[in-house]
Structures are given as C-alpha cells and as structure tokens.
Amino acid sequence: MLNFELKNPTKILFGKGEISKISKEIPQDAKILMIYGGGSIKNNGVYDQVKDALKEHNLHEFGGVPANPEYEVLVKALQFIRENKITYLLAVGGGSVIDGVKFLSAAAKYEGEPWDILKRPVRTLEGEALPFATILTLPATGSEMNSGYVISRRETNEKLSSGGPGLFPQFSVLDPEVIRSIPKRQIANGIADAYTHVLEQYMTAPSSADLQERIAESILISLQETAPKVMTENFDYDAAGNFMWCCTMALNGLIQKGVITDWAVHAMGHELTAYYGIDHARTLAVIAPSHYRYNFDTKKEKLAQYAERVWKITDGNTEEKAEAAIRKMEEFFHSLEIQTKLSDYTEDYQKTAERVEKAFTERNWLGLGEHKNLTPQDAYKIVEMSY
Amino acid sequence: MLNFELKNPTKILFGKGEISKISKEIPQDAKILMIYGGGSIKNNGVYDQVKDALKEHNLHEFGGVPANPEYEVLVKALQFIRENKITYLLAVGGGSVIDGVKFLSAAAKYEGEPWDILKRPVRTLEGEALPFATILTLPATGSEMNSGYVISRRETNEKLSSGGPGLFPQFSVLDPEVIRSIPKRQIANGIADAYTHVLEQYMTAPSSADLQERIAESILISLQETAPKVMTENFDYDAAGNFMWCCTMALNGLIQKGVITDWAVHAMGHELTAYYGIDHARTLAVIAPSHYRYNFDTKKEKLAQYAERVWKITDGNTEEKAEAAIRKMEEFFHSLEIQTKLSDYTEDYQKTAERVEKAFTERNWLGLGEHKNLTPQDAYKIVEMSY
C-alpha cells in the first residue's frame, strides 16, 4: 500500500431541486460569470433554475464553450473576466465546460502567458485560482469533484492537461433530473468514460490496497448494472442518480490513493480525439482492450481478479480468466453501442500509430503507463492493435 | 436515493513516515497544545516523532485523557488552553483523545457553559472552532476524518454526542506502523467498532443508492479479510494499512450519503458502557445481533443482501439468508474473541433493560432507529434479548 495524501474540499449538493440552494453557497457580493456550452441548458430548464436561484446576485453570462474546450474560445472568456473584474465563476455544463472554467480560474490570476499553464504545466495552489463552482449537466468526466482539467488547441492539434490543489470546485450540484434530456449517445459516452477512469486506476500490477480495489470494483459493477436502466427511454431517477454518482466517484481521487495508476489509455486516446474528433470516451474504448492485451503479463493477475469479482467468472486459470475479462469489457462497450476498433470510426487510420509515436516522442513522453516504461514505440504497437 | 450534502475537507497523510511532514501543515506562528492519553505514545515512538517534527514550533503538552473522554478531565485542559492562549490543538491518540480534542476545539471559542454544547447539542459551524489536527494511534472510531464526537460525564453516568461542520480535523496522519504496538484486544475492538459503524449505515430497509451500499459491503469484506492478519503476532504492514483505512472510511461520511441510517445500536451500546464500563466496541457486538433480530421484518431484505454479497451465502429464501447472516456476524465477532451476550461481561445485567428504557424516556429519546419509531419500550426488549 503506497503512501498517499488525500484532500478533497469540494462540497457536493446531490439530488432533485438542489440547484435552488446555490445562492447560499456563493458570497452575496460576488460578481459571478456563469459559463455554459451550446445552449442545451436553455432547453432542459437548468438555465432558468440557475437564473432564478441567483436573482439577488450580480450575474453575467458567457455561452458557447464547445466540447473538448478550445483555447481560442477560452481566451475570449478570460478577456471578459479581466475586463469586468469577475470574482466568481460558475460552470453550468458537462466536463468540457467545467474543464474550461478550471483553466479560466487558474489563468485569471496567473501573470504569465495563459498557454504556459498547459505547455509547461503550472500546478495551481490554494488561493491562486479564482473561486468557482459547477452545476453538472452531463455526468462523465468527474471534473466536478477533482482539481484537474484538459484543454484542446485546434491550431496545434494538442490536447493537454493541468491542475493543482487550488482547482477544486467550491461546490458542485449533481441533480439526476438533468439526465432526462441527455441524448443516449452522450449517456453511453459518460458510462464508458467513467468506466475507463476506474480501469486506469485499477488495471495494473497487483496492489495491496485491498479496500481501494474493492471500491473500484464496486463502481465498475454499479456502472454495469445501471447502464441498461439509463440507456432505456423510461427515465429512472434512482438509476440516473447511481450513474451520476459513479461518474463522480470514478475520478474524485479516492480510488487512486495507495495504488499504482496507469493513464496511458488516456494519453493515446487524446491523440485520436485530436486527429479525428472521435468522442473522448470512444477513444478510450478503442485503446483500452489493446493496451491490456499488449501489457498482458503485467496486468493478467488484476485482469483475472476483475474477471472473478466484477464479472463472476470462476472457470479457467489466471490467463484464461484475464482473456475472458478483456472480452467481457469489449462486450460491455458494445452493449452501449460503442465500437472498440479504430477502423469503426475512420477510414483514415492506417498511419495513426506513426502519428502517435511521433507526437509522444516530440513531447518527450518516453515512459508512460503504470511503470513509466511504456515507450512511444509501445504506443505505436498498441494503437496498431486497435485498428 | 435520498438527497445529500457531502463535504469533508480533512487532509489525510497516509503511510509510514508521514508524521515527519506535519510541520508544513501547521502555521509557523501557532501556539500548539499536543493532547494525549495514558502515555503509550511515549513507548511506541510517536511522542518522539511528533516532538522532533515540531521542534521549530511553540509546543505545549497535556497528557492523561482517559478512554471514553471524561468531562472532568477535559475542563482542566480547557482551562489550560484559555490561560495559555493556545491557537492550535494536536490530538495524538485514538478516538477518545480525538473526541476530547474536538470538544475542546468547540468549547474554546464557545461563550456559554461548555457542558451545554453536549446537553443541548450546539452544532459547531466553520470558523467557530479552534483549528486542530490528529495523529491517529488506534484505528477504530473514524473520528480522524469526521466532525462528530462523544464525551462521557462520570458524575451523571451520561455519554453524549455533538459535532458540526466546523469540527473536521485540518489534517490527520495515519501511519500503519503504530499498529505494531497495539494490544490485540484493542485491535479486536477497533475492527468491531468500524464493522458496526458500517452496519449502522447499511443494515436498514432497502435503499436505491447502489454504489453506497457496495462501498459499505467493500469495507465489511475488507475488514473480515484483514482481521485474521492483524490479529496475529507477525506485523503485516499492508494488512495494518487496510485495517486503518477501513476504520476511517467506515465513518467519514461517505457511505451514509443517500441512504437511510439507523444508529440505535450505538444509542443502546453507550448505555452499557456508561453503566458497566464495557469497551464501546463490545457493547455494539452485544446489541447489534439482538437489534437485527428484533427488527427482522424491516431489515430482512438487506440482511439477505449482506448474506449474499458479503458472506457469499446463496442457499435459502430471504428469511433463511437473513438469519444465516446474523449468525455469521456473531461468528465474526467471536473470531475476534469478542462475546455477544451481556451476561458474558457482567453478572449485574438483570435490570439493564429497565435502566435503558428509563434513561431513554427521561432523555425524551422516544423514536430511534432508521424510521425514528423505535421506542424506549423497544429498547427494553432489545437489551433484554441481549442478556
């Protein structure tokens, strides 16, 4: 069991109607900028609920933050924040909006060139960021209860991450009712994203952090059981609530404490999004099975444990259980109508492995994965296996 | 799934050697009072590690806080804090010392009669308490990562609880090495205490908070598997770490969110400690099986789920599984050399049910348990069943 530090000060307000409580959570004298995406919050009622809850506050708006938040849009918001002396940011949206707001929170008080926060990641410490909160409308990334974020820059085809202990939301509202109006494709993405977040912190060499592993397995099982209920047309509040809470718990820091983590699947997946615009979650479903097959010897014991505890597979030896587990994982993604081969998404995939190898080499990412020894050449082979 | 709020700002420093880091966590200009119990920290090296880590700080000491922290001792510490203008409290000990320090933290800035904080519980809000931190030397109560506490008053045979969002430790150090020197009897108590904390938040009518239930089950399974390893003479660091982390996770607030909780076992157990001085954890093991048998109809579905998921019992109908589960629970306590009948602890037990009924009635505790409808008369019957 590895040493760890854990601190997560984000306050969660979970459940139906909780948006109405946010006026008590934000200082009365705050100058708030509410930031949102493409406008779906105006159709599902969330926009009106926020406006109503904050009618006594000084509230400004900035809409139009796209999926995979782009630097070019965010610098415009940054300009607005500085010009209008905004003191509090409120992200209303999914992971893209929340990540964008984290970048803005970090950049607002940062005196250097904003892109440097990403280019040579600057950890934002407590007190260095503008206070912000989130109202989650699309469960997936877990960004509502952690201090990390990912930003894209179209002009350079880059997707880079940063964070720091100063970038936890002050509070996040999780109202499962928002799931009523989410398209099934995006719900499937959310499930696959959260599922892979757990895998990145679990599917490693054996750890001795027994409770953390069991909590990870609990999230996987709960996502599997909840998935068919939230993928039907009939809204089920409790299933929606479980789905939403699983997404948060998958990446709020808890299950990574005391264990080895990997994250190479994300590193490779981000490239596929940058090149082809494939949904983030779907890139993970493409890469994960190949990653586990390629690193089978390191991961087979944990794969077998996953087979036994999560999929109740009791037949076979370690290798057989481990192989069965990868197939079960693929079947689970397929049950969400998510394909697991790169060729399912683009015809222009033949040179992808070379592009990923080159990008990792240029960025000096020479040792990824759980043992920091996965080379750009390994990434080439894994991406090639995913064709 | 019930609405909930969750905020837990305590920073955890987990692992071997973490005590050496505390000087960075406490302000340099703090006037610290280190508070401890009977002196075991002078034998196991923790006292020296703390003194060494804080050698640049202004550090005072107050030792001698007994198990089930007594009001009479704590008021002396309170006097010392006020006279010496102490600004930071550091609890070094188990749940008794930590709970005592929470009371002191709340009372230090409270202008009324200190006992009123308990007599008519005053919730201590953020900013109302003296900052404090903990170095845990005895895993059991979970007090190192929550904001509640329990205090005893010998002269009135009372054991009362209080708390509030201002009473989270600023940080807590959890170094599994401390478990090397803990007597097996106290380790057994810690396991039983944490196990029962989980049961109080889990063994209720069915909830729809699937992930929370699975995390609760994870803690129960992990405690069961870790127990024999920490009860042997050979120190096993990883087993000690799992045990320690299970105790914290059992009562840091997470598993109670979105579910129904009970806590009647604790209410009855506290009386047995107040009358006979029986170790807290052992009173829970006495009351819990009788409580579940008495409330069998309400709890049988969850008992059956516990049988299936935690004990892998697949035979029988709901009632049979539920009954088997209670027997398994008793066997688990027995495996820790903890008896589960009141007559195993005292010969003077015959009038206990009447005393508990009278105490609850006088205190106006007319509706305990998960549905707030467990009367003092019900408590009479449950305690009588435990003879």
Q: Name which of B218, B264, B259 is nearest B242 in CA terms.
A: B218
Which residues in chain A have Cβ-Cβ distances shorter than 8 Å to B176?
Answer: 1
Element (DSSP H or E) covering residue A32:
strand A31-36
Q: Does B15 touch chain A (CB under 8 A)?
A: yes
Residues of chain B with pLDDT > 90, as a percent, come to 87
Long-range contacts of A74-79 (CB under 8 A, 24+ apart): A74/A100, A74/A103, A74/A104, A74/A107, A74/A151, A75/A114, A77/A33, A77/A35, A77/A104, A78/A104, A78/A107, A78/A108, A78/A114
- Contact yes or no for A4 and B15 at CB 8 A: yes
Confidence grade of residue A243 (pLDDT, cut at 50, 70, 90)? very high
**Interface residue A125 vs chain B (CB under 8 A):** no
- Helix/strand/coil (H, E, C) string of B200-243? HHHCCCCCCCHHHHHHHHHHHHHHHHHHHHHCCCCCCHHHHHHH
Please compute the mean of the pLDDT values over residues B33-37 and round it to a whole number.
96
| DSSP 8-state secondary structure symbol assigned to residue B85 | T
CA-nearest of B69, B43, B13 to B245 is B13
CA distance A283 to chain B (A): 26
Beta strand spans in chain B (E) = 4-14, 31-36, 58-62, 88-93, 132-136, 148-153, 158-163, 171-174
Arithmetic mean of pLDDT, B239-252:
98
Number of CB atoms found within 10 A of residue B45's CB = 14
Specify the pLDDT at position B159. 75
- The residue length of chain A stands at 387
Nearest one of A80, A81, A88, A98 to A37, comparing CA atoms: A98
| CA distance, residue A71 to nearest chain B CA (Å) | 32
Output the pLDDT for position A67: 76
* Predicted local distance difference test score (pLDDT) of residue B153: 78
How is residue B157 annotated by DSSP? T
Q: What are residue B305's phi and psi, to 5 degrees?
A: -65, -40
By CA distance, what is B21's nearest residue in A? Answer: A5
- Confidence at residue B115, expressed as pLDDT on a 0 to 100 scale: 85
Q: Does A258 touch chain B (CB under 8 A)?
A: yes
Which residue is closest to A209 within chain B, CA to CA? B242
From the list A238, A215, A212, A211, the residue with the least C-alpha distance to A225 is: A238
How does pLDDT run across B126-184, given as a tens digit for each residue?
999 999 999 999 999 999 999 999 887 777 777 778 999 999 999 999 999 999 999 99
Per-residue burial over A65-76, b = 16 or more CB atoms within 10 Å of its CB, e = otherwise: bebbbbbeebee
Whether residue A182 contacts residue A239, with contact meaning beta carbons closer than 8 Å, is answered with: no
Residue A214 contacts by C-beta under 8 Å, 6 or more apart in sequence?
A309, B218, B221, B222
pLDDT in tens, B303-349: 999 999 999 999 999 999 999 999 999 999 999 999 999 999 999 99
Q: How many residues does chain B have?
A: 387
**ipTM of the shown complex:** 0.96
CB contact under 8 A, B15 and A7: no
Distance of alpha carbon B307 from alpha carbon B318, whole angstroms: 9
CA distances from B230 to A181, A233, B190, B191, B339 (A): 50, 50, 11, 10, 19
pLDDT of residue B38: 84
Measured distance CA(B247)–CA(B229) in Å, rounded: 15
Using an 8 Å Cβ cutoff, are A258 and B16 in contact?
Answer: no
Distance CA B366, CA B362 (A): 9
Q: Would you call A10 and B11 a contact, using CB atoms and an 8 Å cutoff?
A: no
Percent of chain A exceeding pLDDT 90 equals: 87
When pLDDT is cut at 50, 70 and 90, the band that residue A285 belongs to is very high
Please give the structure tokens belonging to residue A251: 């990446």
Measured between CB atoms, which of B4, B176, B219 is closest to A211? B219
Collapsed DSSP state (helix, strand, coil) of residue A162? strand
Contact (Cβ atoms closer than 8 angstroms) between residue B353 and residue B383: yes
Option in A18, A214, A245 nearest B211 (CB): A245
Give the minimum alpha-carbon distance from B208 to chain A in angstroms, rounded to a whole number.
Answer: 6
pLDDT band (50, 70, 90) for residue A147? very high
Q: Which residue has the tokens 């409308």?
A: A137
A80-104 mean pLDDT: 96
Q: What is the pLDDT of residue B152?
A: 79
Put simply, whether A126 touches B (Cβ < 8 Å) is no
Question: Could you give the C-alpha distances from A214 to A322, A383, B215, B325, in angstroms and in order?
Answer: 18, 30, 8, 21
Dump pLDDT digits (tens) for A181-231.
999 999 999 999 999 999 999 999 988 999 999 999 999 999 999 999 999
Instruction: Kindly state the DSSP code that residue A6 receives in the 8-state scheme.
Output: E
Question: Coil, strand or helix: which one is A216?
Answer: helix
Band of pLDDT at residue B112, cut at 50, 70 and 90? confident
Question: Which residue from B minimizes the CA distance to A175?
Answer: B3
- Chain B residues within an 8 Å CB radius of A237: 1
Cβ within 8 Å, pair B18-A3: yes
**Phi-psi region for residue A200, left (φ > 0), alpha (ψ -120 to 50) or beta?**
alpha
Q: Which domains does chain A have, with CATH numbers?
A: 11-177 (3.40.50.1970), 184-385 (1.20.1090.10)
Asked if A190 has any chain B CB less than 8 Å from its own CB, the reply is no
Is B356:B271 a contact under the CB 8 Å cutoff? Answer: yes
